[in-house]
Amino acid sequence: MSKRLAIFISILVTFVLIFSTGVYFYQSKIIIKSELNNQGKLVTNYNYESIDNFLQEIERITHLIYNNKKIHNYLKNNNLTIKVQLENLFLKYCKNIELIQAIRVVDIKGNIKIFMRECENLSGSKNFKKINLQNKAFFQKVQKLQKSEIIFSNFERGKLPETTEFCPAMIRTMIPYFDNNKKTGYLVVNFWGSKIGEVLDYLKENKGYSFIAEVNANNPDRDGIFLFHPNRYYEFANQFNTQYILDNIYSKKDVETIKNNKSGIIELKNKHNFLAFATVYPYNNTNQRWKICTVLKGSYFFKNINALRRNFLAVMLLGIFLSILTAAYLSKKLLSPLNEINKATTEYSTLRLH
């Protein structure tokens, strides 16, 4: 009888401990997931605003350069004195505006007339050779414009005319010049793409990371490529002939969620990480857009609850052990009066009374 009571008490205490601990961990996990959602939205919104501000800033710089009347006059008259003045001016821009990688003034046929790159006056050199941009995809886009508006090129690794190697990532702004509704030339400004990475790359490595991927319905080669990623070898799969694209890194369901929604947050089941994303439209159309993504590592955010789980497991096992000892002791004490009554009854029935 005492053994059965001890077992019953032990089972009851064990159940209460397991149930209460399970409820605690379940509620804690819900709270942490809610915090992860808030963190993901906060970081992604910050990244979105940073990218948007970057694009607005390079547009402002382009307008600043474009509105110089000397460029208009030079394209109309091809005056060498004005050319030298502009080259010197562009060098000052380069030294004072860190975002600028190169400035080019191009004539109507695609020939580069003024070329400043990385604070070096290339067009002012006696060894400067004629460079034509007619066959460049980015230049063909600006040639189609029929009004003075700024457009962006693809975000990509460029190639220098004198080499086959890729230079660092960049994005170009382009705008045509008109005189009496007649196109006279173009302004092309290159901006360092690394500046985008700088505004994103601020999360601690153990907490998470951010990246930019392009969704492109017009060009399958660019669809899903990484424009910026902490693992640099993930970037520009189309140019480096690798397989590192969204579709090959994440599950089909996750990629569809990212591509088909403007913003959101999803749980990556394979690693228990969370991915928050937002969308930027640099090209003013939905066919080519950037996905600003932030991955929050579950191992970081759940590390405290995992440590608590281990501690509670140890405490629970100790509690179960002590409950067994306590149950055995209590059952013996509780059943002691009953044993005495039972003994007395037995003695009475056999007439062994004192």
320 and 255 together in one domain: no
Name residue, tokens 């789980």. Answer: 309
Report the length, in residues, of the chain: 354
Which residue stretches of the chain have pLDDT < 50? Answer: 353
Residue 303 domain flag: no
Distance CA 152, CA 348 (A): 107
54 and 73 together in one domain: no
77 and 189 together in one domain: yes
Q: Alpha-carbon dihedral of residues 5, 9, 11, 16, nearest 10 degrees?
A: 160
- Residue 282: give the domain boundaries: 201-297
152 and 226 together in one domain: no
Distance CA 226, CA 26 (A): 36
> Alpha helices, DSSP H only, in 261-302?
298-301
Could you say which of 139, 167, 195 is where a domain stops? Answer: 195
Q: What is the predicted pLDDT for the residue at 254?
A: 94
214 and 125 together in one domain: no
**8 A C-beta contact, residue 284 and residue 51:** no
- The angle formed by the CA atoms of residues 77, 81 and 83, to the nearest 5 degrees, is 70
Residue 277 domain flag: yes
141 and 31 together in one domain: no
Could you say which of 140, 161, 195 is where a domain stops? Answer: 195
> What pairing do the DSSP bridges indicate for beta strands 112-117 and 100-107?
antiparallel
**8 A C-beta contact, residue 174 and residue 180:** no
Q: What is the predicted pLDDT for the residue at 29?
A: 63
Residue 211 domain flag: yes
- pTM here is 0.76
Q: What is the predicted pLDDT for the residue at 197?
A: 73
**8 A C-beta contact, residue 269 and residue 257:** no
Q: What is the predicted pLDDT for the residue at 325?
A: 62
Residue 144 domain flag: yes
Distance CA 214, CA 232 (A): 15
80 and 190 together in one domain: yes
Query: What are the residues whose beta carbons fall under 8 Å from the beta carbon of 269, sequence distance 6 or more?
Result: 251
Distance CA 273, CA 208 (A): 9
Q: What is the predicted pLDDT for the residue at 273?
A: 85
75 and 173 together in one domain: yes
42 and 144 together in one domain: no
Could you say which of 130, 164, 195 is where a domain stops? Answer: 195
Distance CA 14, CA 16 (A): 5
pLDDT digits (tens, 9 = 90+) for 278-313: 999 999 889 999 999 998 887 666 555 555 555 556
Residue 350 domain flag: no
Q: Report helix, strand or coil for 265.
A: strand
For 127, the token pair is 């060894």
132 and 250 together in one domain: no
Residue 224 domain flag: yes
254 and 275 together in one domain: yes
Number of domains in the chain: 3
Distance CA 255, CA 258 (A): 5
Q: What is the predicted pLDDT for the residue at 305?
A: 52
CATH number of the domain residue 264 falls in = 3.30.450.20
Residue 76 domain flag: yes
Residue 123 domain flag: yes
Distance CA 138, CA 150 (A): 13
Distance CA 316, CA 59 (A): 62
110 and 218 together in one domain: no
For 307, the token pair is 């440590």
